[in-house]
Structure 1
Amino acid sequence: MEPLNGRLAKHVVVVSYDAFSEDHFEQAKQLPNLKRLVTSGVHTTKLKSVNPTMTYVVHSTMVTGVYPDKHGVFHNNPLQPFVETDNQAWHWYRQNVKVPTIYDAVNAAGLTTAGILWPVTARSSIKYNLPEVVAINGENQAIKVLKNGRPLFCLGLELKYGRIREGTNQPYLDDFSTACAVDTIKRKQPNLMLLHLIDLDDTKHAYGTKGQAVDEVIERMDKRLGDIITAVEEAGIMDETVFIVLGDHGQFDVKFKVYLNNVLKEHGLIEETASGYEWHAYFQSTGGSAYLHIKDGDKETEAHALAIVNDIVTNPKYGVKQLYKREELDELHVDPSIRYMLEAKKGYSFEDDITDEDVVDLTARGETYATHGYSTEQDNYRCNFIIAGKNIKLNAQLGEIEMVDVAPTIARILGVELNDVDGRSLDEVFKGD
């Protein structure tokens, strides 16, 4: 993107509405605050995400304007075979992103930035930063946040609003995040605010994609959007602000959980030892897909693993939709370190654990679950995107857009320079264009 003179607005507020996908747009847009943004701005239900459709991967694209094969965040978690989920490290840190970000560009232009629980921003350049990090292996959560965010800023928010939160439980976590964002907008008036709200994603995972629990969270989300809009009004910056509300991925309901590493263990590619498991090949799940890792690039192991994979693909009980090899993964912009990927059919998800059963029937157990991580090419899997505010057209619709277009559009609005992006500024949303 070429350097630009002037700004279309002084402030951009980005609300990442995690798991806000096309299947819930009609319901959500009937509520007063989202309806206000839709009718006063531009929207689409055809925002295409990136592969794999996982939160940290997608949010890294949102702020860089490039696909995962360039920014380097290939999964929520680095590869950690056999580490329990609750003790796994995530890609929490800015250093995990290999390219420039929009918040770096905004800072470089002499403008101010703020982030509330935005993924992959620990130890970043964001001036007012409360990053999304989680204590593991006996760490202290408060100390971890202070070490990786802006200490005085984080401490002040904790003292004011920490009582709202109950760990990571919802709706309390998003209520806390919203209170922090409202306070920051009113006191700091940042030029770029990045807010990540997770309630809908958490609820879909636990209860499935439809039902009373989802209906209730969509109503809660609209109230939070109203709180953000009111904060902008009370800060006196409404006439100079653009709002962007967007989802990062969809979710599909799951009937069967599939444990692919069981199969590798049965064929000797994962071995049980006195100290735990040793692996020669390993499936790292994204939920709707799974990466096949080969230890040390061993060719003999790779051939053995691929023979097993071919059996898995042809056996309907495992619910495999497709095997992707590197040529297809290049087309999907999946990180170049991944050589093979399996995608699940709708109704199936892949899991990392070694268990007693290869395939678990959740319906038979009376359990509900939904997840993401499927290919962006799946039907009914696009995200919603709403943009409204200064210099934005009124009550207009967009067609297909891509997640890589978000950062260049923010750069265009704020008049900052963000080079070497894969996306484009959505100039058609601006008045006069």
Structure 2
Amino acid sequence: MLERLLVLFFVVTTLAHAAPAEHVILVSIDGWAHHYFDDPKCHMPAVKALAANGVRSKRMECSFPTVTWTNHTTLVTGVHPGKHGVLANEYFDREQRKKIPLIPDPLFNKDEIVKTPTIYDAAKAAGMKTAGVIWPASRGAKTLDWTVPDVFEQELFEKYGTPELLEDARAAGIPIEKQMEWCKAGNAGKAQRDYMYTLLATHIIKKHKPNFLAIHLVSLDSFEHAHGRQVAEAYWAANDSDNRVADLVRATEEAGIRDKTAFVITTDHGFVTYTKSINANSALKKDGFVKAVLGKSLAPDSQVFAMAEGGSCFVYVLDAANRETILQQITPKLAKLEGVEGVVESKDFDSKLHHITTAQDGREPDLVLLAADGYTFTDSLADSEVIIPNDPPKGAHGHFQLDPNLYGGFVISGAGVKQGVVLDEMKNIDVTPTMAKLLGVPFPDADGRVLNEALK
């Protein structure tokens, strides 16, 4: 009798703590702004079917700056950029006096730049199987069982790709040898890249049934950069991304895990269509704060450099001894430039941007400029003009995270998720704690919250 009671207790306890989902698939559609969901010109039937059978948010607040590397890292860490450390798509090295790129993972492995645990770290620690397909800032991640990095170079793609996965891809005819060729092709290669990356992801799903898989789709962002938001080319790319989502759903059906899988379809940022670029370095050159060598490189005696980050500009004071004096001189002048909508001083980084100060992290700037709608920043040292017209219009991101155009889309559907719920608003820091809850893995240090109203 006692033995039967112990068995019953074990079964009940196990069921009480059973994870709502055995598998979570995170799909980032780069540049998928919240307004695409209700736009009648945007045809995304697979994503809308997931939303109808699940939960969506009318808008999702992204991280500042609203750029790819920063926000993809937030999506898998659940913390703000000041904590996870991927502060932008690049940063300015004060000692080397040059920009250091983080996009597309040309230099650093994940452990060198991501300072806090990720959802795939937590899943792996819980004994689960993990996968990442061109997920930004995941190069060389030791806790991804099957992965290819988000890089351009064929050598890096294969060096940091999981050997077994690459071997399987070649045997299956997945065209991984086209990686560099399609990257070099620009927009013409973006749909092919997403096709190839999705083939890799569907192979992983069907063969390995990972508990967590993250995939990054790149087409929409690229076409928005070239043409602006909510234009014919962007609608086409959104539909192409929707087809890739449909491929992933079918893969779970073929793997026999559809009813045990939760899908999270989201993004890194929205977009602004711009017609003018602001070059703060040109303005600073006029006052002698920025000096260039042959219009190409920063002169050793330059006191300031303004690094463009799309719709924001990171201003670095390089003369540390005169930092405060220089900031007092340049801040009001930069604030008055055409197209500059706001200026954020270091003392307000935490409260307004969720960043930390340069005293805490030397990669952080001393001042941040925010572009108005219709504007973006450039930082070419060769320019003499401060305001540069762009014709035809193009698209940009990197703007202030509370700009209405920069909010992202979000859909969650499947195992453990309610049906027919629409949330008014959420934050991207909420994505990881919600996925952790679905998988039943502890994730105690997130800045975000579990979207309990979306879960059964």
| Alpha-carbon distance change, 68 to 381 in structure 1, aligned in 2, over 3 angstroms | same
Check if 1:395 corresponds to 2:420: yes
CA contact (8 A) 2:436 2:443 kept: yes
* Partner of residue 334 from structure 1, selected from 330, 345, 355: 355
**Structure 1, 86-95 or 369-378: larger mean CA deviation:** 86-95
Could you tell me how far 1:46 is from its partner in structure 2?
1.6
Distance of 2:99 and 2:345 partners within structure 1 = 27
Instruction: Indicate the RMSD between aligned Cα atoms, in angstroms.
Output: 2.3
Structural mapping, 1:305-320, within 5 Å? 305-315=327-337, 318-320=338-340
Listed as ranges, the gaps of 5+ residues in structure 1 are 135-140
Check if 1:63 corresponds to 2:76: yes
CA contact (8 A) 1:294 1:302 kept: no
Distance of 1:377 and 1:109 partners within structure 2 = 36
**Structure 1, 235-244 or 28-37: larger mean CA deviation:** 28-37
Could you tell me how far 1:6 is from its partner in structure 2?
2.3
- 1:79 equivalent in structure 2: 92
Which residue type is aligned with residue 419 of structure 1?
A: P
- 2:18 equivalent in structure 1: 6
- 2:217 equivalent in structure 1: 197
Check if 1:127 corresponds to 2:145: yes
Residue-by-residue CA offset, 1:122-171 (whole Å, 9 max, x unaligned): 1112110111123xxxxxx2321233332332354356222665422221
CA contact (8 A) 1:409 1:425 kept: yes
Which residue type is aligned with residue 333 of structure 1?
A: H
* Partner of residue 352 from structure 1, selected from 379, 384, 387: 379
Check if 1:361 corresponds to 2:389: yes
Could you tell me how far 1:276 is from its partner in structure 2?
3.8
| Alpha-carbon distance change, 87 to 178 in structure 1, aligned in 2, over 3 angstroms | closer
TM-score computed with the length of structure 1 as normaliser: 0.90
| Alpha-carbon distance change, 414 to 60 in structure 1, aligned in 2, over 3 angstroms | same
Matched residue of 2:50: which SS? helix
Q: How many residues align?
A: 416
Which residue type is aligned with residue 130 of structure 1?
A: V
* Partner of residue 316 from structure 2, selected from 293, 312, 324: 293
Matched residue of 1:368: which SS? strand
CA contact (8 A) 1:46 1:382 kept: yes
Could you tell me how far 1:21 is from its partner in structure 2?
0.9
Could you tell me how far 1:430 is from its partner in structure 2?
1.5
- 1:280 equivalent in structure 2: 303
Distance of 2:329 and 2:128 partners within structure 1 = 55
| Alpha-carbon distance change, 296 to 122 in structure 1, aligned in 2, over 3 angstroms | farther
Distance of 2:408 and 2:121 partners within structure 1 = 26
- 2:34 equivalent in structure 1: 22
- 1:138 equivalent in structure 2: none
TM-score computed with the length of structure 2 as normaliser: 0.86
| Alpha-carbon distance change, 88 to 419 in structure 1, aligned in 2, over 3 angstroms | closer
- 2:403 equivalent in structure 1: 378
- 1:137 equivalent in structure 2: none
- 2:175 equivalent in structure 1: 161
Listed as ranges, the gaps of 5+ residues in structure 2 are 1-15, 184-188, 359-363
Distance of 2:435 and 2:45 partners within structure 1 = 25
CA contact (8 A) 1:411 1:417 kept: yes
Matched residue of 2:443: which SS? coil
Check if 1:93 corresponds to 2:93: no
Matched residue of 1:27: which SS? coil
Could you tell me how far 1:429 is from its partner in structure 2?
1.1
Could you tell me how far 1:395 is from its partner in structure 2?
1.6
* Deviation beyond 6 Å, 4+ runs, structure 1: 84-89
* Partner of residue 416 from structure 1, selected from 438, 441, 454: 441
Residue-by-residue CA offset, 1:388-420 (whole Å, 9 max, x unaligned): 101211121112211111111111111111121
CA contact (8 A) 2:46 2:246 kept: yes
* Partner of residue 285 from structure 2, selected from 252, 265, 283: 265
Could you tell me how far 1:191 is from its partner in structure 2?
0.5
| Alpha-carbon distance change, 67 to 276 in structure 1, aligned in 2, over 3 angstroms | closer
* Partner of residue 454 from structure 2, selected from 412, 429, 432: 429
Which residue type is aligned with residue 72 of structure 1?
A: G
